[in-house]
Amino acid sequence: MSQLNPTLITFIFYIIAMVGIGLYAYKATSDFSDYILGGRSLGSVVTALSAGASDMSGWLLMGLPGAIYLSGLSEAWIAIGLIIGAWLNWLLVAGRLRVHTEVQNNALTLPDYFTSRFGDRKRILRMISALVILVFFSIYCASGMVAGARLFESIFGMSYTTALWISAIATISYVCIGGFLAISWTDTFQAGLMIFALLLTPIMAYMAIGDHSQQFATMIETARPHATNMLSGLSTVAILSSLAWGLGYFGQPHILVRFMAADSVKTIPAARRIGMSWMILCLGGAVGAGFIGIAYFQHHAELAGVVSQNPETIFMELTKILFNPWIAGVILAAILAAVMSTLSCQLLVCSSTLTEDLYKAFLRKNASQKELVWVGRLMVLAIAILAIILASNPNSKVLGLVAYAWAGFGAAFGPLIILSLFWKRMTLNGAIMGIIVGAITVIVWKNTMASTGLYEIIPGFILSFTSIVVVSLLEKAPSQEVIQRFEQADELYKKEMAELQNELPTQSENAR
């Protein structure tokens, strides 16, 4: 246990630093807009890195390296799909959503945006979208709680229950205190920690093979004969299903909210370049850790016991072996960073949905800003407690639902977001039908058609998109008021992008 003390100390300092950022952000939080969107004040760096960190959970440092270690590069298709999807999301959605949410009565949440965008006076769309968010994110949050607990349990030998509460309290504290600004600032720090760990570990693993590095390919081939073949054992359906993960980006509330919080449309292009560079390097590092790990543990077979039993521990095991305990503590904290960054954003999205879309919309329309901030904090606690209850049994079946929570959001909200930003003819009933069809298709397909091997987001996305178009065309066009707001937002977006294009040559000339 003494060998782990430096790691424990590093973790304690890390958690204290995150809470300290929360306390600092508390002073900058004056109203509810600050609490859930940071007052729309995020610059390009924070927008980019916080979006990336909230996207990439513990899967990036545990699941993906483990899958690559076990099956080789054939598991990398999902990373390719995510990169393509994220880039298209930044290119097509980010800037437009930033403008449209501001024009649509300064919408603070996705249900708030949908309500204004489609003139939902009966607030049916608000209620349905809020329920979808709460259902899927409750499951997501429970998964994050379990991932954090498993990390503390495996590194420090704690009981599962103790580890669950420690990881939960660490995250809850800075979310409750500082809100969106605390999450965005901590995500930026956590993103830096994650890329440091993911780039350093595979490099050190390769160097640790030493004089045998020339036989690297032979070691890989001996341990996993088909590890270098990206098509090994994969059907066309399997490849399409992996690539289809990219479709999920268009409907993820915890990522979309980062676009809404950018200080202006002009921030987005720079944020896209920063965010995509970070993402590509991180995914490359995760793939590298798993792939180089094959050769490393082939060369050091005596150290492969734990990894052989659970391939998802490969990143942790390489870190423990290759670095002294102090450095290992910093790198292992990157796993905690991945878990906390995603979980914190999910908690806040749930809180904002309960507060803005249910409490304020249906119970207290005239609630003060101070009241909404404190209700938001209480909602963070409420959702966290629910997630802890769901996560209290690590073998609970609810964790099996996490695999299609991403698909659920992607299918329910993805087509709706895209069409709402590009098609002014889209109607309220079309939007309602799209959410319902997308969510139900994902759930039904997963439970009845999983044997086909086709990822449920594909039929869910297609049917949701189709239902929106068909229903919208079968009824009369939206009111002139709805169309005018859309056109106002669309014209404003084009104007700001044109201004940005005009500024670029001037900046280039100044640089010379």
pLDDT of 60 reads 80
Q: Which of 106-115, 142-151, 200-209 has the lowest mean pLDDT?
A: 142-151
Stronger pLDDT, 216 or 226, i.e. the higher one? 226
Residue 155: pLDDT above 80? no
Check whether 510 has a pLDDT greater than 60. Answer: no
Q: Of 36-40, 96-100, 277-281, 309-313, which gets the smallest average pLDDT?
A: 36-40
Q: Residues with Cβ < 8 Å from 448, sequence gap 6 or more?
A: none
Lowest mean pLDDT across 164-173, 279-288, 461-470? 164-173
What was the pLDDT predicted at 1? 42
Gap between the Cα atoms of 347 and 35, Å rounded: 13
Q: How far is CA 44 from CA 5, 87, 191, 509, in A?
A: 38, 15, 14, 22
Q: Measured between alpha carbons, how far is residue 341 from residues 11, 26, 186, 207, 285 in Å? A: 15, 18, 7, 31, 19
Q: Are 343 and 141 in contact (CB under 8 A)?
A: yes
Average pLDDT, the chain: 82
Higher-pLDDT residue of 367, 411: 411
Q: 362 near 343, Cβ under 8 Å?
A: no
CB atoms within 10 A of CB 385: 12
Q: Give residue 399's pLDDT band: very low, low, confident or very high (50, 70, 90).
A: very low
User: CA–CA separation, 33 vs 111, rounded Å?
Assistant: 15
Give me the pLDDT at residue 26, please. 65
Confidence of residue 44 (pLDDT cuts 50, 70, 90): confident
Say if residue 3's pLDDT is above 50.
Answer: no
- Of 75, 329, 318, which is closest to residue 203 (Cα–Cα)? 318
Rounded Cα distance between 225 and 239, Å, is 20
DSSP string, 100-112: HHHHTTT--SHHH
Average pLDDT for 89-101: 94
Q: In the predicted model, is pLDDT for residue 207 greater than 70?
A: yes
User: Which residue did the predictor score with more confidence, 397 or 162?
Assistant: 162
- Whether the predicted pLDDT of 398 surpasses 60: no
Whether pLDDT at 414 is above 80 = yes
Give the tokens for residue 139.
């499951």
For residue 42, the cross-strand partners are 262
Residue 397: its pLDDT value, please?
A: 45
The CATH number of the domain covering residues in 2-398: 1.20.1730.10
User: Which pLDDT belongs to residue 114?
Assistant: 92
Residue 124 has pLDDT above 80, yes or no: yes
Least confident among 413-417, 422-426, 500-504: 500-504
Q: What are phi and psi of 28, to 5 degrees?
A: -95, 5
Tally Cβ neighbours within 10 Å of residue 112.
Answer: 24
- For 449-479, where are the alpha helices, taking DSSP H only? 457-474
Query: Is residue 11 predicted with pLDDT exceeding 80?
Result: no
Phi-psi domain of 475 (left: phi exceeds 0; alpha: psi -120 through 50; beta: other) = beta
pLDDT score recorded for residue 480: 93
d(CA 10, CA 162): 19
Nearest to residue 6, comparing CAs of 336, 334, 327?
A: 327
Average pLDDT on 93-100 reads 94
* pTM summary value: 0.85
**In the chain, domain spans:** 2-398
DSSP secondary structure letters along 42-103: B-HHHHHHHHHHHH--GGGTTHHHHHHHHH-GGGGHHHHHHHHHHHHIIIIIIHHHHHHHHH
DSSP per position, 364-427: -TT--HHHHHHHHHHHHHHHHHHHHHHHSSTT-GGGGGHHHHHHHHHHHHHHHHHHHHH-TT--
Q: What proportions of the chain, in percent to the nearest 5, are helix, strand and coil?
A: 85, 0, 15
- Taking only the tens place, the pLDDT of each residue in 97-119 is 999 999 998 888 888 899 999 99
- Residue % of the chain over a pLDDT of 70: 87
Q: Identify the band that residue 179 occupies on the pLDDT scale cut at 50, 70 and 90.
A: low
179: left (phi over 0), alpha (psi -120 to 50) or beta: left
* Residue located via tokens 């449920």: 456
Contact in structure between 410 and 248 (CB atoms under 8 Å)? yes
